[in-house]
Amino acid sequence: MNILTRKQKKALAVRAARKALEQLPAESKKLRVAAALLEPQNLKRLGVAAAGSAAVLGLTASAIRTRLYRRALARELKRQLAPINKKLDALEKQNKELMEQNEQLKKKLS
């Protein structure tokens, strides 16, 4: 039974990719870049760059979703609180009128 470790599988895949690239015409700049990326050190760098890019994209998407959720929530709360705000404004106006009447009555009594 032939059980390969991850490193062995990775090495086999890299070797197979290199052989495939060697068989193709090496005139293409893209092929040379691809061959250079298959070097183990470059694979690590490529993996770190890809992981960093994925993390940044994930955080950006999360921030955008949070912002959109907050905006939607603010709109909904504003819509639901509109009648309550109207009632509050009416009560404040009524309170102000009653305070003025109270002041007038105090002046009359003194």
How far apart CA 84 and CA 20 sit, in angstroms, is 72
CA dihedral 53, 20, 3, 5 (to 10 degrees): -30
pLDDT at 67: 92
pLDDT at 26: 53
Whether the CA torsion 28, 30, 36, 40 is positive or negative: it is negative
Contacts for 66 with CB less than 8 Å, ≥ 6 apart:
none
pLDDT at 27: 60
Residues of the chain with pLDDT under 50: none
pLDDT at 81: 94
**Structure-token pair, residue 104:** 């007038």
